[in-house]
Structure 1
Amino acid sequence: MNELKQNLRALRPLWTGLPIVAVCTGLGLTAAWQYLRYATPMYESTAKIKLADVNEGVLNTTLLKNLDAFSGDNRTSAEVELVRSPLLLGRALDHLNFDLSTYRVGKVRTTELYRASPFTADVKLTNPKWTEEPFDLRIDVAGGVQLMAPSGEVAEGRLGQVLRLNGAEVRIGRNDSLLKARPDIALADHYRLVRHDRGRLIEDIANRLDVTSTDRNVPVLRISFQSTVPQKSADLVNALSAVYLDDYLATKYKVVNTAAETIGERIKDVKRTLAHSEDTVEQYRDLKRIVNIKQETDTDLHKVAELKTQRSNLDMSLAAANDLYRYMSDGKRNALEMAPNFEAFNDMLSTDIIKKIKDLQAEKHDLLLRFTPEDEKVKTVDLKLADLNSYLLESIKNTRNNLTIKRRELDRAIAQAQGAFVGLPTREKNLTILQRDFQLNEKLYTFLREKETEAEIAKSSPTSYHRVIAAGLVPVEPTSPHRTFVLVLSGFLGMLLGVLLVYLLSIIRSTPGDADGVQKETRTPLAAIIPHLGRGLAGRLAFFTQLATRLALKGMLAPGTKLVVSAFTDQEGQTFFFEHLRQALAAKGLKLRALTLRDAQSPNPDAQPDEILLVQNLPLDQDSHALAVMSGAAVNLVVIDSRTTPTSRLPELDLLINEFGLPNVQLCLNRAGYAPGPLQLLGLRLRRLFTVRRAARPVAEPLALPLGGLDLQS
């Protein structure tokens, strides 16, 4: 509860000072309104450009991917700097009429006309110092023209004539197209011309130009420009967008054309080198009689392998023949008893001879059964066997000789076949080198031919894949000053200033406010706390009757007591307190003598033993005689007001009490905690004014309730 009271006490000055806050807020809004009325508004127009995708359009070719000069990777930060570059800004200004600015000079504000100028102007400066300097122009109703140069030189003429100055030539004409479209525009007026320097103009535009990307991962440029003329801001962003697209397209295709020419020249050189490589390979193949080294080598290897296989077979046959011949030669005397291995001789002739030999041997055995070995028949059979055996042995010998001859021929054929491999690695190496050079030249030629084709395709499609996705529109509402923001901010600052002023005045005009505020500032005790009692007489008397009872209980109203009611000024409710306390004491039936001191000459008696002397003292800040009256009193009640008594008075009262030894001084706080609202104060002041006017009339006033007390409580 105490915390709530503290908060309410802190807000009390703000409540009572609401008129000041309202006035300050109103002044802030008025100042903002005047500022908005005379401030030059700035309009902003915005255009958006979607950058080309590297995978989009005919520019997406191997040519653009492989060569860095044709890289389609557009980094947004680099494109931002390109758009802001003086190069593109200068090209954009070449398409716009920004070099000459025309203004209509008014009494309060000068307005730029741009396309709304009712006249045309052509200014040629020969004095470069006059750039960025104003030319004063006046056109009258009759068509007369008066031009003042920055140096003060004046030239006069008529519309359509050339006005010559020492540093410039100016021609002023009528803008008939605009005057016909808008007849409400007056031609006769006061104007100003400014010829801009191109460098300064580009710098000024760059300061008001904002080029950003909407997002780091989204290739979209946002171009914004601010100007005092809405049409001017839209024209610049649109012209800059068009120049950027044209520059992108021209740069890309200039590089493509250059590359196409370079590729064509390179193709001629590579073609000659490729032809030389072909001729070299052909001559080497003819010289070395090479058709296909791999196939020839495989054939020769297969041939050598077959010859070696034949030689191996022949060697085995020859070995068998040698063994058979040796076997037959060693046992020719008893050949009939031998059984040689004829595995190597399996032809028909050998088989037939062996069969005949076996038949003769069988026949001999049969003859020996009947005849003796010396018989002619037996001998005849032996002769036949000997002939066959000799024939067979001679056949084996001839066969062996034939096999020997064949083996020598096979050895010679193998040696001849293996001679083809002599120098083969060298031939392969040389041919590989020549073929490698040929293949490299062929690949380079093929690559360049592909690039030439792609470059021709790119040249045949002169289209930029940057796209303007949002053109700059003519703005309707200004971006600065923002009317709502300025009004809200000014109102808030005015209100804040009013609050600070209220609390500053509250600190300067600090008053006690309530009993807590009094006790914080002084050690003098409080004898009475009087709230705001309204205008009812019965309620006031009832409160003061209770107050008189409390004072009596404190021993302040004993018979023979001199009670002095004092105050610092007349505006603190001293009269109100004195009159109502007097009436309350009289209503209680106490013997009372009331005395009001008018000046220092007024009598100041002491109280009789059987009475209470109630004295209304002089104000403390008017006459020091009031201190003498307080020194002779038994009880001193000092009336202070919660709204009119400065807080600094309370320490002063403590000093007076200590310095003059004033007896039994206690405070009475009038209108404790009273904080009327602004409307209530206004009503009270109107009522006071009305009461004062009525008081000027000869009307009898009630004696029971003095006017001063009513006013102070109100």
Structure 2
Amino acid sequence: MSELKNNLRVVRTLWRGLPIILLCTALAVLAAYEYLRYATPLYESTAKIKLAEANEGPINTTLIKTSDAFSPNNKTGAEVELIKSQFLVGKALQQLPFDLSTYRVGEIRKTELYKQSPFAVTLQLRNRKWEDQPFKLEINADNQLALTSPDGETVVGQFGQLLHFAGANVVIEKNQALLQAKPGLALADTYEFVHHSRTQLMQDVLDHLDITSVDKDVAVIRVSFRSPVAEKAADLVNALSGAYMTDYLENKYKVANTSVEFIDKQLKTVGESLAHSENSIEGYRDQKRIVNIGQETDTELHKISEMKIQRANLRMSLAAANSLYQYMQSGKKNILELAPTFEAFNDLLSNDMVKKMKELQADKRDMLLRFKPEDEKVVAIDQKLADLNGYLLESIKNTRNALTIKYGEIDQAIRQAEKGFVGLPTREKNLAILERNFQLNEKLYTLLHEKKTEAEIAKAAPTSSHRIISEGAVPDKPIAPNHELVLAVSGFLGMLVGTVLVYLFSLLHATPNDTHQVQKETIIPIAASVPYLATAGQRVAYFRQLATRLELKGLLPMGSKLVVSAFTDLEGHSFFFENLAAALDAQGKKTRCIYINDHNTLNPDTLSSELMLVHNLALAEDSHSLAVMAGADVNLVLLDSRTTPLHRIKELELLVAEYKLPNVHFCLNREGYQPSPLRSFWKRSARQTTWQLASEAHAGTPATA
């Protein structure tokens, strides 16, 4: 409940200060409205340029591809910086009449005329100090001109007349086309015109120029310019867009022409290098008798491999023949007892001879059964066996010699073939180098031919891959100032200032509005709180109840002195004193009322059969009031919720502690009374008027309302 009361106190302060808040809000809105009436509007025009995609245009490849790892990939950002460069802005300004600005000068503001100027100025400026300085022109109803230079020199003349100054020559002529189109256009007025320096003009344009990308993933650039003249804003964005497209085409043709010339020169150089590479390969092949190194190497290696196999077979056959020969040689006397192996000597003739020798051996055995070894037949068989044995040994010997000769020839052939591989890596390396140079020259020659074709196609293409997809239109409505926003913000700020003033006034004029606030400030008890009583009947009824409550609290015993005090006469202690005395009289109590007017006023002691009421002096006016309070039995100090400052409560608390004042209680007058400031102002004005009339009547002067 106390939190609700605190919130209500805050809201009550706002409610009381509502007229001040409304007044501040109204004044702020009125000031904003006046500002909007005379503020110079700002117009914005926008053009959009679509950039060419990577695969868009007459050719789908670029003439030059970079391999730089740090090359920028954001083409849109680069084009934005190009458009806002001074180079392109300067090209655009060369097409526009921005060098000279004309203004119509009013009492509060001046308006730029641009193409709506009723006169045209031709200015030859010799003094560069006059750049960016205004020339003042006055045209009267008789078409007389009065031109004042920036240095204050004034020349009078007519339209079309040369006006000579120390630093410039000026000719002013009527704009007949505009005057005929607008017959009601006033010519007689006060004007100004300024010749802008290129540096300052460039800076002013760049300050009001805004070039951005629509989106980082969309290759569209937005070109916007803000100006007090709507047509001027549209002219600049269109001129800048056109300058960008023209510059793009010029650079495109320049790059294409330069590329064609460069490629032609390179084609001649690379062609000569390619022919030299071809001749070098041809001469090297002829010199080294090279047809195909790979095939030749494979053939020779296969041939050597086969000869090595043959040599291995011959080595095995020769070894077998040598072994057989040695075996046969060692046992030739008993050859018929030997059993040689003929794996390496198994031709048909040898087999027949062995077979025949075995047959003769068998015949000899048969004949030895019938004849003696000395018999002629037996001897003849032995001779035959000896002849065959000798023939066989000689055949084995000859075979062995033939194998030896053949082995040597094959081995010689292998060594001769292997000599062909000496220096083969060097020949392959040299040939690879020559062929690599040839391939590089050939690829470069082919690439240059392709690029030459692309450059010729690009050179022949008459259009740009970039496109202006939206031209700048003349805006109808200004972008600044925003009337709704300015009025809303001004109203909000006015309301905020009014609220701050209300709380500031409430803080500076803090008064005890209710008993809760008094109790927060002091430990002195509160005897009574008197509401605002508008009528006499309300006063009588309330003070009767108040007298009863005070008596119940023990503050009105018989034989006591009750002193009613206040800091000033405006806090209502006279009102309280008189009404309390009347209420006590109505109850039949014996009371005696004493008014202390100064320190000489008698202040008798009270009798036991009566109640003495003392109307004390104001505490802020005379210190004698403290002496009166010190001699009292009960002290009632009046506080007014509208006039008593809060710091007075602390002051009284200090006085009570210092002078030991007895039985002090507070009485709050007009508790919770919070009229509106306008009502309070009206009552205060009426009261002041009444006092003035009363003083005039007392002085015998006629009263004035």
Residues of 1 paired with 2:513 and 2:481: CA distance?
45
Residues of 2 paired with 1:658 and 1:323: CA distance?
151
8 Å Cα contact 1:63/1:70 also seen in 2: no
1:204 and 2:190 correspond: no
1:495 and 2:495 correspond: yes
Match of 1:133 in 2: 133
Equivalent residues in 2 for 1:463-612, closer than 5 Å: 464-466=464-466, 471-518=471-518, 526-535=526-535, 537-553=536-552, 571-574=570-573, 576-591=575-590
Match of 2:26 in 1: 26
Equivalent residues in 2 for 1:608-623, closer than 5 Å: none
**Amino acid in the other structure paired with 2:284:** Y
Residues of 2 paired with 1:620 and 1:335: CA distance?
173
Deviation at 1:74, TM superposition (A): 3.1
* Comparing 227-236 and 419-428, the one that deviates more: 419-428
Question: SS of 2:27's equivalent?
Answer: helix
8 Å Cα contact 2:19/2:678 also seen in 1: no
**Structure-2 change in CA distance of 1:303 and 1:551 (3 Å):** closer
Residues of 1 paired with 2:2 and 2:374: CA distance?
174
**Amino acid in the other structure paired with 1:544:** F
Match of 2:37 in 1: 37
8 Å Cα contact 1:50/1:219 also seen in 2: yes
**Structure-2 change in CA distance of 1:501 and 1:414 (3 Å):** closer
Residues of 2 paired with 1:288 and 1:617: CA distance?
143
8 Å Cα contact 1:233/1:474 also seen in 2: yes
8 Å Cα contact 1:238/1:472 also seen in 2: yes
8 Å Cα contact 2:100/2:193 also seen in 1: yes
Task: Report the TM-score when normalising by structure 1.
Answer: 0.75
Question: SS of 2:266's equivalent?
Answer: helix
**Structure-2 change in CA distance of 1:331 and 1:613 (3 Å):** closer
**Structure-2 change in CA distance of 1:160 and 1:319 (3 Å):** same
How many residues align structurally? 692
Deviation at 1:565, TM superposition (A): 5.4
Deviation at 1:183, TM superposition (A): 4.5
Residues of 2 paired with 1:88 and 1:363: CA distance?
129
1:675 and 2:645 correspond: no
What does the per-residue CA deviation read over 1:442-488, in whole Å, with 9 as the maximum and x for residues that have no partner? 33333333433444444444655555566545444444443334333
8 Å Cα contact 1:70/1:255 also seen in 2: no
**Structure-2 change in CA distance of 1:344 and 1:589 (3 Å):** closer
Question: SS of 1:431's equivalent?
Answer: helix
**Amino acid in the other structure paired with 2:151:** S
**Amino acid in the other structure paired with 2:105:** V
Residues of 1 paired with 2:623 and 2:394: CA distance?
185
8 Å Cα contact 1:592/1:612 also seen in 2: yes
Deviation at 1:125, TM superposition (A): 1.4
Deviation at 1:675, TM superposition (A): 1.6
What does the per-residue CA deviation read over 1:563-595, in whole Å, with 9 as the maximum and x for residues that have no partner? 665656554445543554354334324456778
* Comparing 86-95 and 490-499, the one that deviates more: 490-499
Match of 1:154 in 2: 154
Question: SS of 1:493's equivalent?
Answer: helix
Residues of 2 paired with 1:690 and 1:660: CA distance?
41
Flag structure 1 segments of 5+ consecutive residues without an equivalent. 696-714
Match of 2:87 in 1: 87
Equivalent residues in 2 for 1:166-185, closer than 5 Å: 166-185=166-185
Match of 2:105 in 1: 105
Deviation at 1:193, TM superposition (A): 0.6
Residues of 2 paired with 1:480 and 1:284: CA distance?
83
* Comparing 120-129 and 229-238, the one that deviates more: 229-238
Deviation at 1:190, TM superposition (A): 1.8
8 Å Cα contact 1:54/1:73 also seen in 2: no
What does the per-residue CA deviation read over 1:475-511, in whole Å, with 9 as the maximum and x for residues that have no partner? 4444444333433333333333333333343344333
Deviation at 1:130, TM superposition (A): 1.0
* Comparing 679-688 and 115-124, the one that deviates more: 679-688
Match of 1:710 in 2: none
Residues of 2 paired with 1:391 and 1:268: CA distance?
84
Deviation at 1:109, TM superposition (A): 0.7
Equivalent residues in 2 for 1:410-425, closer than 5 Å: 417=417, 420-421=420-421, 423-425=423-425
Equivalent residues in 2 for 1:207-286, closer than 5 Å: 207-213=207-213, 221-248=221-248, 250-251=250-251, 254-286=254-286
* Comparing 43-52 and 427-436, the one that deviates more: 43-52
Question: SS of 2:65's equivalent?
Answer: helix
Residues of 2 paired with 1:313 and 1:566: CA distance?
151
Residues of 2 paired with 1:392 and 1:621: CA distance?
170
**Amino acid in the other structure paired with 1:196:** H
1:188 and 2:188 correspond: yes
Question: SS of 1:65's equivalent?
Answer: coil
Equivalent residues in 2 for 1:324-403, closer than 5 Å: none
* Comparing 3-12 and 363-372, the one that deviates more: 363-372
Question: SS of 1:191's equivalent?
Answer: strand
* Comparing 625-634 and 230-239, the one that deviates more: 625-634
Task: Report the TM-score when normalising by structure 2.
Answer: 0.76
8 Å Cα contact 1:136/1:193 also seen in 2: yes
* Comparing 391-400 and 93-102, the one that deviates more: 391-400
Residues of 2 paired with 1:334 and 1:574: CA distance?
177
Match of 1:16 in 2: 16
What does the per-residue CA deviation read over 1:611-645, in whole Å, with 9 as the maximum and x for residues that have no partner? 66667677777899988988998766554432134
Match of 2:703 in 1: none
Question: SS of 1:452's equivalent?
Answer: helix
Deviation at 1:49, TM superposition (A): 4.8
Among all aligned residue pairs of Structure 1 and Structure 2, give the percentage whose two residues are the same amino acid. 59
Deviation at 1:546, TM superposition (A): 1.3
Deviation at 1:197, TM superposition (A): 0.6
**Amino acid in the other structure paired with 2:542:** F
Deviation at 1:46, TM superposition (A): 4.5
**Structure-2 change in CA distance of 1:122 and 1:74 (3 Å):** farther
Match of 2:289 in 1: 289
Residues of 1 paired with 2:392 and 2:318: CA distance?
16
Question: SS of 2:668's equivalent?
Answer: strand
Match of 2:299 in 1: 299
* Comparing 30-39 and 519-528, the one that deviates more: 519-528
8 Å Cα contact 1:226/1:233 also seen in 2: yes
**Amino acid in the other structure paired with 1:192:** E
**Amino acid in the other structure paired with 1:103:** Y
* Comparing 514-523 and 292-301, the one that deviates more: 514-523
**Structure-2 change in CA distance of 1:408 and 1:62 (3 Å):** farther
**Amino acid in the other structure paired with 1:533:** L
Equivalent residues in 2 for 1:400-439, closer than 5 Å: 417=417, 420-421=420-421, 423-439=423-439
**Structure-2 change in CA distance of 1:279 and 1:682 (3 Å):** same
Question: SS of 1:489's equivalent?
Answer: helix
* Comparing 339-348 and 226-235, the one that deviates more: 339-348
* Comparing 314-323 and 670-679, the one that deviates more: 314-323
Deviation at 1:194, TM superposition (A): 0.5
**Amino acid in the other structure paired with 2:670:** R
Deviation at 1:544, TM superposition (A): 1.4
Match of 2:700 in 1: none
Residues of 1 paired with 2:74 and 2:483: CA distance?
40
Flag structure 2 segments of 5+ consecutive residues without an equivalent. 695-705
Residues of 1 paired with 2:56 and 2:317: CA distance?
80
**Structure-2 change in CA distance of 1:308 and 1:504 (3 Å):** closer
Residues of 2 paired with 1:317 and 1:634: CA distance?
161
**Structure-2 change in CA distance of 1:21 and 1:366 (3 Å):** closer
**Structure-2 change in CA distance of 1:354 and 1:228 (3 Å):** same
Deviation at 1:167, TM superposition (A): 2.2
